[in-house]
Structure 1
């Protein structure tokens, strides 16, 4: 087994899923180690993401745990293979230069088969125009040093390339009207952002739903959320922003709650067609 520190969120997730699989089998670390012919420290290091594990070993452990979900096992085996190629993705050149949570977010978006995002006061990162993104970073507290500013701006803009991939994720963006009307960068930048949003909303894999002011209250009104769908439901992940950084959640209860929140928000939002009409109306007012 190879080691790599610190582990990425996706590597920790693979370990967490193997831990859940072991626990569902009713086995302790010591019992699992005896079953696999290894020691409990190795099992612990794999489950924490500190050590990698081969795809073949994932399948052996799954068989030892009597897991019969073939699609789930295949997905975990693919995650295990990815670790061999760490350092070859575009975000890896930013490692050590931007917060690790941003790298984890780019990796999450890259591997998602579908993404649902809810934004209240900002445009979704994947749909931000350069002038708008620049204005957002100018509001950072404390102010960013010039090099840090340019790196984070370039990183944010590069993330949008996920929409152009060979198999781009299906994306649903729920945006509150407040985000349309807050003029980051002034009227010109705000207008450019709204036109960019309209252009992106015409993509086959992108749906934009606006929550207008007149709907009143709605769930999770104080936070922004991204829900990334994995190749199987077990591997879905929620990423949400907090005052102290990003939080990645994948407990079944959390996933179910956030799906319900996003369902209710989408049900109350305007259709993509009516959303585009409102975006045009706001842009014309600038």
Structure 2
């Protein structure tokens, strides 16, 4: 089977999960290739996601590895045959691959958790808010490039607003609510949108007040996407140097623990809604 032309995060994840199953048995790639009737080069390509793999072969590999987790095997087999071409494909070649990977991750997630301290989470942003952020962070970007990124960010909201909306929760800091990335009017509209999404049941938002004692998580910023089975949960860290997807179980456990700590430092959803109302009135 020829190499895939486009290496997506989802294909890489499938290969990584197959490698984990093999490594759990102590079997080498060469030994697994023999059982599969393949060679070590092809096995390496399958586990790196650079070539496709059939659902039948996924099940054959799982059997060779002694995996008896039927739910996990079914999901991996479905990933192997998934040919979903979502709305994000319209931006292939226009935006970096990582942008498309994020949208695909959100599309397939069973639930989404966002933690953003100094900004409004992307899925909650208005066009004006997003435009101000992109323009400020990328001063050399043309207006048309900014508008493309804004349009793309607005379309990402289909994950939480579409017919098959994904349950979404966000933890934000009071600082993010008060920072004016544009102007006072745009800030009011932004807070109003968050409240509207909460009232529509599209988002659950928790606020960490500035006067909260014992809060040392100002550097926290991440998205956590629930998978069809817990083994396929994915963490995502966004930084000035790029986006990193996390699938290591130990690291995922760290993210889960951090989210719980941040949740304990935040107001409950009702108190958070009232808090956002107050901030909006003060602007």
How many residues align? The count is 283
Equivalent residues of 1:173, 1:209 under 8 A apart: yes
* Aligned equivalent of 2:203, options 203, 206, 221: 206
TM-score normalised over the length of structure 2: 0.96
> What is residue 136 of structure 1 aligned with on the other side?
133
Instruction: Report the CA distance between 1:217 and its aligned residue.
Output: 4.0
User: How far apart in 1 are the matches of 2:16 and 2:216?
Assistant: 29
User: How far apart in 2 are the matches of 1:165 and 1:186?
Assistant: 29
User: How far apart in 1 are the matches of 2:216 and 2:47?
Assistant: 34
User: How far apart in 2 are the matches of 1:96 and 1:142?
Assistant: 22
User: How far apart in 2 are the matches of 1:90 and 1:272?
Assistant: 31
> What is residue 52 of structure 1 aligned with on the other side?
52
Which aligned pairs between 1:223-234 and structure 2 lie closer than 5 A?
223-234=220-231
Equivalent residues of 1:2, 1:53 under 8 A apart: no
> What is residue 30 of structure 2 aligned with on the other side?
30
Instruction: Report the CA distance between 1:2 and its aligned residue.
Output: 4.6
Instruction: Report the CA distance between 1:205 and its aligned residue.
Output: 4.8
User: How far apart in 2 are the matches of 1:276 and 1:244?
Assistant: 33
Equivalent residues of 1:191, 1:283 under 8 A apart: yes
Equivalent residues of 1:219, 1:261 under 8 A apart: no
User: How far apart in 1 are the matches of 2:213 and 2:2?
Assistant: 53
| Correspondence 1:191 to 2:195 | no
Q: 5+ residue gaps in structure 1?
A: none
User: How far apart in 2 are the matches of 1:13 and 1:156?
Assistant: 24
User: How far apart in 2 are the matches of 1:69 and 1:202?
Assistant: 39
Change (3 A) 1:74 1:2: farther
Q: Deviations over 1:96-124 (max 9, x none)?
A: 21122111111111110011110111111
* Aligned equivalent of 1:237, options 229, 234, 238: 234
Paired residue secondary structure (2:136):
coil
Q: Deviations over 1:125-159 (max 9, x none)?
A: 11111111111112123431122111111000000
Instruction: Report the CA distance between 1:263 and its aligned residue.
Output: 0.6
Equivalent residues of 2:161, 2:202 under 8 A apart: no
> What is residue 124 of structure 1 aligned with on the other side?
121
User: How far apart in 1 are the matches of 2:194 and 2:148?
Assistant: 23
| Correspondence 1:111 to 2:114 | no
More divergent stretch after superposition (211-220 vs 152-161): 211-220
User: How far apart in 2 are the matches of 1:156 and 1:163?
Assistant: 12
More divergent stretch after superposition (131-140 vs 251-260): 131-140
Instruction: Report the CA distance between 1:6 and its aligned residue.
Output: 3.4
> What is residue 147 of structure 1 aligned with on the other side?
144
TM-score normalised over the length of structure 1: 0.95
Runs in 1 of length 4+ with deviation above 4 angstroms? none
User: How far apart in 1 are the matches of 2:220 and 2:97?
Assistant: 21
Which aligned pairs between 1:96-107 and structure 2 lie closer than 5 A?
96-107=93-104
Q: 5+ residue gaps in structure 2?
A: none
Instruction: Report the CA distance between 1:167 and its aligned residue.
Output: 2.9
> What is residue 3 of structure 1 aligned with on the other side?
3
Q: Deviations over 1:241-276 (max 9, x none)?
A: 122110111101100000000011011100111101
Paired residue secondary structure (1:255):
helix
User: How far apart in 2 are the matches of 1:249 and 1:218?
Assistant: 24
